[in-house]
Amino acid sequence: MHFAALGRILGMLLMLFSLTQVPPLLIALYDGGEASYSFSLALSITLLTGLCIWYPLRNRREELRVRDGYVLTASFWFVLASFGAMPFYLSLRPEMSLVDSIFEAFSGLSTTGATVLTGIDSLPRAILYYRQQLQWLGGMGIVVLAVAIMPMLGVGGMQLYRSEIPGPVKDNKLSPRIADTAKTLWIIYCGLTVLCALAYAIAGMSWFDAIGHSFSTIAIGGFSTHDASIGYFDSVAIELIAVFFMVLSGMNFGLHFLALRSRSLKAYFKDPECMAFVKILGTTVLITFIVLVLYNHYNNPMLTLRHALFQVVSVASTTGFSVTDFSGWPSFLPYLLLYTAFIGACAGSTGGGMKVMRIMLLFRQGQREIQRLLHPNGVFMVKLGKRTVPDRVIEAVWGFSAVYLLTFFVLMMALLACELDPITAFSTLASCMNNLGPALGDASLHYAELPSSAKLILSFAMILGRLEVFSLLILFTPAFWRY
Amino acid sequence: MKIIILGAGQVGGNLAEQLANEANDITVVDTDAEHLRELGERLDIRTVTGHASFPAILRQAGADDADMLVAVTNSDEINMIACQVAHTLFRTPTKIARVRATQYLTRADLFAPDALPIDVLISPEQVVTHHIKRLIEHPGTLQVMDFADGKAQLVCVRAHYGGLLVGQQLRQLREHLPNADIRVAAIFRRDRPIIPTGDTVIEVDDEVFFIAARHRIREMMSELRSVEVGYQRVVIAGGGQVGERLAEAIESHCQVKIIEMNPARCRHLSGTLDSTLVLHGSASDRELLIEENIDQADLFIAVTNDDDANIMSSLLAKRLGVRKVMALINNPAYLDLMQGGAIDIAISPQLATLSVLLTHVRRGDVVSVHSLRRGAAEAIEAIAHGDKQSSKVVGRTINDIRLPPGATIGAIIRDEEVLLVDDELVIASGDHVVLFVVDKKHIPAVERLFQVGLTFF
């Protein structure tokens, strides 16, 4: 382990991160100075801490190994999220406890979108902007994590995408390649954000809302600057724009890169995962629409379709915006939506969940078992499109799902021990681990009522889900730290 | 004609044998001196021992004045290089090479005259696959051959009880199928050719060769045997090149199972084929065949590279109740033994490849040649050129053409249309004439018929 080099990078990251508190500080000053105190204090503390860590280690340039990569990705989220909680804790309005601040910051940076805040509309704009920006920064990290780092580490079958990492392949060393890839991805990421913000503004949002919502849309976060989320605007155009960009951000960013480079949409249609994602969304929208119409929940087919489309895409892509309270939907619908969040978005996107690719492989593997029972001598390959998937990947995916479920059960027990009722425990955990946001039961509106212990467990679950379980759990194994 | 054959393997040896009997000047080159000596003793050919693509060896084989080079060694690369050498150093006019690897065949521009100068590429696997595919398309046939890009087909069928025409004179055919341009070209009865006339009576077990437009074939089949339903469930034994291509070609409209011994090959097949079921095991494993419901299969095709395995697994499959079996058999001795017995159709890769090679060896403007009945007979598609003065066929009625004995004109294809052959039809320049020659020794006479006289130039 190269602690010195890791410390150097972390210190640099902290200093960079402190700069991100400049825009909210400017907004605070522009708006008359409220909350400017908390941001300037947070900025100085973060900057100083970073400097203190970085300065003594500034000359320790060492090539990072794969193991260092795990430590770095985990500490990126834990350390940045902890420092990111500072402005919330320091601010006077809203007045937040330490646990609430941490929860809010973790939720933001992991692009979950679960909130403990109420009365959001009346909060200072600086705080509102800061929340949106946290998600956007988290999304930036995730894109690189999901497209460049995870495939390289091969976490949970992600080595399948190793060959599809955009950018030049001239260098086999970890860091230069990641750096090149990151640049390309961030250009796409920023481009999408700008487009999304423009579209929102044209559709009638104020510039502040447009930029804020574009941040949380492209990051698949789900924070909003209003209590009623996207429902506040009550505009079909805005909802359609949100749906469009949520679907786009739920796709593999490697595909966006391919499509951009070849200037054709063929890459999307040829990608089996992308098509499966769209099909899953379509089917869920259809089922939801039919059930809502059967129960006559909205008395209006057009409104039903509108709500079904938006809410399904929002939950299934693990964004978590809302236009209506889906926890009040009839029959099995609230659970159907939560389960689609388990499937989540495509691998290599900013979305959460177990990822469409893994679910497809699990499903194909199930089919393969049935075929094997029918034809004991048969040789069957799991295929994605025309490509044969190596058995190693299937094993990794199985391992991933087993660990995912096991962790889920353990954390669920822990939540029940915090005296949450089963529905709340299940739905909040599902929501946080899949980086979704909204939940059912006591947390159907916000997470403020939950006990502090539950909030900490859920914060941990968010990072766990974000880091694809393995890359975090690996740090808890003794073998990792052994020589 | 002076022909150099590189490689004295099964195809090379067979080709040498076929051509040597036709008074060609044949030289065979191979590295195996022993094998060459044995071949040289049996046939009237010259042999050269050495590496086939070396210029010195080619010169020794007479490349300086050879008319044609046929490269059929085991190595694709040697075949291609030999053609390049012959082209560059010796200006050999016609170069034919066997190239097996599909990777080379995907790019057509690779074999342009200024790149790899090969005039004709032969891929035996491709030829055999095509051959089997046509047999599957026309269930009940023993052999199907295309003429004029498949507009007309020559079909070989064994007559059976249940055919409307069986036991009747051929002229009844006109009454059964009044509008059909179908012509019976030859009948083989107990392996002896009969030139059909209106009075000929078709007997059970006759091998009937007829020529018809593609869409007429089913009607004619019902005249000769009870109609067979198409093959739906197919089992392929052997997942080599042929097996893979075959499965790929038919998996969209048949349920295909393919049995392969090599586990690595199985994984490859499973990865490339879409709906085909890949089974790992031996095709002669009785338990495996039974477990995979072989008794409900319509067709079993054995295409491993081992004759014995093909024959034994086919016999086993037949015993276990499969409707039809086909087997790939390389050994000519086995071929005669098995054809028409328990194995319904024995396929010879050499004969199939040979037909393609012969097309280019034949003089005159020959479009395609099909070797029939283990090479004893031949069907030739030739284009008539010239006018009444220069050509022996153009401007004459079929009656007037002086065909050698044992040769019949099966069909005329003019402007995309298959014409009914009657005695008064006058042949025009540009017509494709399909001839059927039951005895090989008359082939040079047929070739002469289609060569244009000197006055034409």
Query: Quick one: which of B402, B400, B422 has its CA closest to B410?
Result: B422
Q: Tell me, what's the pLDDT at B109?
A: 80
Nearest CB partner across the interface for A379, out of B280, B288, B291: B280
As a whole number, mean pLDDT of residues B162-191 equals: 77
Burial of A211 (0-12, 13-18, 19+ CB in 10 A): buried
- Give the CA radius of gyration of chain B: 23
Q: Which CATH number applies to B352-456?
A: 3.30.70.1450
**Residue A392 contacts B, CB cutoff 8 Å:** no
DSSP state of A204: T
DSSP H or E stretch at residue A382: none
Q: How would you list the strands of the sheet with B207-213, edge to edge?
A: B141-147, B152-158, B207-213, B183-189, B192-194
The per-residue b/e assignment along B352-379, b for 16 or more CB within 10 angstroms, e otherwise, is: bbbbbbbbbbbebebbbbbbbbebebbb
Is B317:B235 a contact under the CB 8 Å cutoff? yes
**Residue A379 contacts B, CB cutoff 8 Å:** yes
Distance of CA B87 to the CA centre of its chain: 28
Is A326:A230 a contact under the CB 8 Å cutoff? no
Considering the segment(s) B233-347 as one domain, its CATH architecture is 3-Layer(aba) Sandwich (3.40)
Q: Does residue A125 surpass a pLDDT of 80?
A: yes
Task: Name the token pair of A26.
Answer: 């400017």
Q: What is the dihedral of CA A17, A96, A130, A349, to 10 degrees?
A: 80
Distance CA B29, CA B10 (A): 13
Distance CA B21, CA B442 (A): 12
Please tell me the pTM assigned to this model: 0.77
Task: Name the token pair of B349.
Answer: 């890769």
Instruction: Spell out which chain B residues touch chain A, with contact meaning CB-CB distance below 8 angstroms.
Output: 260, 263, 266-267, 269-271, 277-281, 288, 291-292
CB contact under 8 A, B279 and A380: no
Spell out the residues 6+ positions from residue A140 whose beta carbon is closer than 8 angstroms to its own: A186, A189, A219
Residues of A in contact with B279 (CB under 8 A): 375, 377-379
- Closest residue in A to B285 (Cα) is A377
Q: Does residue A243 surpass a pLDDT of 90?
A: yes
As a whole number, mean pLDDT of residues B344-350 equals: 83
Q: Does residue B417 surpass a pLDDT of 80?
A: no
The per-residue b/e assignment along A319-357, b for 16 or more CB within 10 angstroms, e otherwise, is: bbbbbbebbebeeebbebbbbbbbbbbbbbbbbbbbbbb
Top residue of A373, A377, A380 to mutate, by most chain B CBs within 10 Å, is A377
Distance CA A371, CA B238 (A): 21
Q: Beta strand B68-71 with B94-98: parallel, antiparallel or unpaired?
A: parallel
Query: Quick one: which of A179, A187, A250 has its CA closest to A218?
Result: A250
Q: Tell me, what's the pLDDT at A156?
A: 67
CB contact under 8 A, B280 and A378: yes
Q: Tell me, what's the pLDDT at A77?
A: 83
* Complex ipTM value: 0.70
**Residue A367 contacts B, CB cutoff 8 Å:** no
CB contact under 8 A, B279 and A383: no
Q: Tell me, what's the pLDDT at B415?
A: 77
pLDDT by residue (tens digit) across B207-238? 888 888 777 777 777 777 777 777 889 999 98
Nearest CB partner across the interface for B270, out of A376, A377, A381: A381
Q: How would you list the strands of the sheet with B417-419, edge to edge?
A: B366-372, B377-383, B432-437, B407-414, B417-419
Distance of CA B26 to the CA centre of its chain: 22
Query: Quick one: which of A243, A401, A386 has its CA closest to A323?
Result: A243
DSSP letters spanning A418-466: TT--HHHHHHHHHHHHTT----SGGGSS-STTS-HHHHHHHHHHHHHHH
Is A383:A139 a contact under the CB 8 Å cutoff? no
**Residue A32 contacts B, CB cutoff 8 Å:** no
Q: Tell me, what's the pLDDT at B457?
A: 40
**Residue A370 contacts B, CB cutoff 8 Å:** no
Residues of A in contact with B280 (CB under 8 A): 377-379
pLDDT by residue (tens digit) across B391-416? 777 777 777 777 887 788 878 888 77
Kindly report, as residue ranges, where domains of CATH 3.30.70.1450 are found in chain B: 352-456
Q: What is the dihedral of CA B162, B166, B171, B177, to 10 degrees?
A: 20
> In Å, how far is A160's CA from the nearest CA of chain B?
16
3-state class of A73 per DSSP? Answer: helix
3-state class of A388 per DSSP? Answer: strand
Show me where the domains of chain A are located.
1-65
Task: Name the token pair of B129.
Answer: 């696959």
Q: Does residue A409 surpass a pLDDT of 90?
A: yes
As a whole number, mean pLDDT of residues A349-354 equals: 87
Q: Tell me, what's the pLDDT at A285?
A: 93
> In this structure, which topology does domain B2-122 adopt according to CATH?
Rossmann fold (3.40.50)
> In Å, how far is B272's CA from the nearest CA of chain A?
7
pLDDT by residue (tens digit) across B97-119? 888 877 787 777 888 777 888 88
Burial of A293 (0-12, 13-18, 19+ CB in 10 A): middle
Residues of B in contact with A376 (CB under 8 A): 291
CB contact under 8 A, B279 and A381: no
- Closest residue in B to A391 (Cα) is B267
Distance CA A323, CA A301 (A): 16
Instruction: State how far the alpha carbon of B349 is from the alpha carbons of A328, B4, B234, B374, in Å.
Output: 71, 21, 20, 11
Which residues pair with residue B280 across a beta bridge? B260
Phi, psi of A209 (to 5 degrees): -65, -40
Q: What is the 3-state secondary structure (H, E, C) of chain B?
A: CEEEEECCCHHHHHHHHHHHCCCCEEEEEECCHHHHHHHHHHCCCEEEECCCCCHHHHHHCCHHHCCEEEECCCCHHHHHHHHHHHHHHHCCCEEEEECCCHHHHCCHHHHCCCCCCCCEEECHHHHHHHHHHHHHHCCCEEEEEEECCCCEEEEEEECCCECCCCCCECCHHHHHCCCCCCEEEEEEECCEEECCCCCCECCCCCEEEEEEEHHHHHHHHHHHECCCCCCCEEEEECCCHHHHHHHHHHCCCCEEEEEECCHHHHHHHHHHCCCCEEEECCCCCHHHHHHCCHHHCCEEEECCCCHHHHHHHHHHHHHCCCCEEEEECCCHHHHHHHECCCECEEECHHHHHHHHHHHHHCCCCEEEEEEEHHHCEEEEEEECCCCCCCCCCCCCECCCCCCCCCEEEEEEEECCEEECCCCCCECCCCCEEEEEECCHHHHHHHHHHHCCCHHHC
The mean pLDDT of chain A is 85
Nearest CB partner across the interface for B267, out of A376, A377, A381: A381
CB contact under 8 A, B263 and A380: no
Tell me the residue type at B334: Y
Tally the residues of chain A. 483
Q: Does residue A389 surpass a pLDDT of 50?
A: yes
Q: Beta strand B25-30 with B46-49: parallel, antiparallel or unpaired?
A: parallel
**Residue A191 contacts B, CB cutoff 8 Å:** no
Is A334:A327 a contact under the CB 8 Å cutoff? yes
Residues of A in contact with B263 (CB under 8 A): 379
Residues of B in contact with A383 (CB under 8 A): 271
Q: Tell me, what's the pLDDT at A163?
A: 54
Q: Beta strand B2-6 with B68-71: parallel, antiparallel or unpaired?
A: parallel
Distance CA A317, CA A356 (A): 10
Distance of CA A134 to the CA centre of its chain: 12
Task: Name the token pair of B219.
Answer: 């009607």
pLDDT by residue (tens digit) across B120-157? 888 888 888 888 888 888 887 888 888 877 778 888 88
pLDDT by residue (tens digit) across A422-449? 989 999 999 999 998 888 888 888 888 8
Phi, psi of B263 (to 5 degrees): -60, -35
Task: Name the token pair of A170.
Answer: 């001239």
Which residues pair with residue B188 across a beta bridge? B193, B207
Residues of B in contact with A375 (CB under 8 A): 277, 279, 291-292
Distance CA A287, CA A283 (A): 6
Spell out the residues 6+ positions from residue A340 whose beta carbon is closer than 8 angstroms to its own: A280, A284, A312, A315, A316
Characterise A24 by phi-psi region: left (phi > 0), alpha (psi -120 to 50), beta (else). alpha
Q: Tell me, what's the pLDDT at A160?
A: 64
Task: Name the token pair of A322.
Answer: 């809302």
Q: Does residue A169 surpass a pLDDT of 50?
A: no
Q: Does residue A81 surpass a pLDDT of 60?
A: yes
Q: Tell me, what's the pLDDT at B175?
A: 76
Q: Beta strand B432-437 with B407-414: parallel, antiparallel or unpaired?
A: antiparallel
Residues of B in contact with A392 (CB under 8 A): none
Task: Name the token pair of B295.
Answer: 């008794």
Characterise B386 by phi-psi region: left (phi > 0), alpha (psi -120 to 50), beta (else). left
Is B10:B330 a contact under the CB 8 Å cutoff? yes
More confident residue, A427 or B202: A427
Top residue of B292, B293, B294 to mutate, by most chain A CBs within 10 Å, is B292
Q: Tell me, what's the pLDDT at A369?
A: 92
- Closest residue in A to B262 (Cα) is A379
CB contact under 8 A, B288 and A377: yes
Of all residues in chain A, what percent carry a pLDDT higher than 70?
A: 95
Tally the residues of chain B. 457
Kindly report, as residue ranges, where domains of CATH 3.40.50.720 are found in chain B: 2-122, 233-347
> In Å, how far is A401's CA from the nearest CA of chain B?
25
pLDDT by residue (tens digit) across A304-339? 999 999 999 999 999 988 888 888 888 889 999 999
